Amino acid sequence: MEELLKKISEVVAEGEAEEAVALVKEALGKGVGPLTILNEGASKGMDIVSEQYNLGEAYLPELVLAGDAMTAVLDVLFASMDKEELAASRVGTVVIGQAKGDVHDIGKNIVSALLAVNGFEVHDIGTDVPVKKFIETAKEVKADIVLVSTLLTTSLPYLSDTLQYISDSGFRDKWYYGVGGGPVTPEFSKKLGVDGWSRTAFDCVEMCKKLLTDKKPGQGEIIMVDSEA
């Protein structure tokens, strides 16, 4: 089974969407859980291509292809997760989106999926999301938590704009505000005064559960979860 998961990571990194989907279906058919396939296979493919990009061994077209393969794999994995069972055990409502100016969506999609499979009602409002849209959606769906993701340093200011907007709209004591993504450091998040920060999508699930049980929005210490620390 390890061999199959390794192969999935390789074909995702190579951007071979069709082959990746076929292998993922094969793994599901053999009883491998969607989260194992995601964590031990497909996500590792994104790590491989990221590393190649950083070393100058892969360029933007390769990233786009790998991103497309990952998205195709995520569609299959999400479809295989039991939605009705999840709806019955709902723990909270989350609005999540990628900050304005940022179209990276793979990490956010993984966060959304993991929250959904852990019983959260997730409203994913996509990429390049204007600050106002987070607040409008949170009001509409009666959110408990608002999460903003970004991978771009140039979009970091929108994380503070969102917090400001939440406060100005009078919801700072109603909604928890959490942030994450590559350039979003623990130091930055603490200085910003958010409720939660976490490193990975798995950490984000734990962070959201802790927010709902251990803290009031806008009060007390920031909750940080970092499995890589």
Give yes or no for residue 162 binding ligand B12 (CB under 6 A).
no
CA angle 169, 174, 178 (to 5 degrees): 90
β-partners of residue 121 are 93
With CB under 6 A as the contact rule, the residue among 9, 16, 37, 43 that binds ligand B12 is 43
Give yes or no for residue 34 binding ligand B12 (CB under 6 A).
no
Count the neighbouring beta carbons within 10 Å of the beta carbon of residue 22.
14
β-partners of residue 146 are 95, 177
Q: Which helix (H) or strand (E) holds 124?
A: strand 120-124
Q: Nearest approach, Cβ of 203 to ligand B12 (angstroms)?
A: 7
DSSP 8-state assignment for residue 200:
S
Give yes or no for residue 99 binding ligand B12 (CB under 6 A).
no
16: three-class secondary structure by DSSP: coil
Q: Which helix (H) or strand (E) holds 56?
A: none
With CB under 6 A as the contact rule, the residue among 24, 32, 95, 104 that binds ligand B12 is 104
Q: Of the candidates 173, 186, 172, 192, which has an alpha carbon nearest to the alpha carbon of residue 229?
A: 186
Give yes or no for residue 75 binding ligand B12 (CB under 6 A).
no
With CB under 6 A as the contact rule, the residue among 46, 65, 99, 122 that binds ligand B12 is 46
Give yes or no for residue 107 binding ligand B12 (CB under 6 A).
yes
- Determine the size of the site formed for ligand B12 (CB under 6 A): 34
Question: Binding to ligand B12 (CB under 6 A): which residues in 124-153?
Answer: 147, 149, 151-153
Give yes or no for residue 183 binding ligand B12 (CB under 6 A).
yes
Give yes or no for residue 159 binding ligand B12 (CB under 6 A).
no
How many Cα atoms occupy the beta-carbon half-sphere of 140 within 13 Å?
A: 10
Q: Which residues bind ligand B12 (CB under 6 A)?
A: 43, 46, 50, 53-54, 60, 63-64, 67, 101-108, 110-111, 147, 149, 151-153, 178-183, 198, 200-201, 204
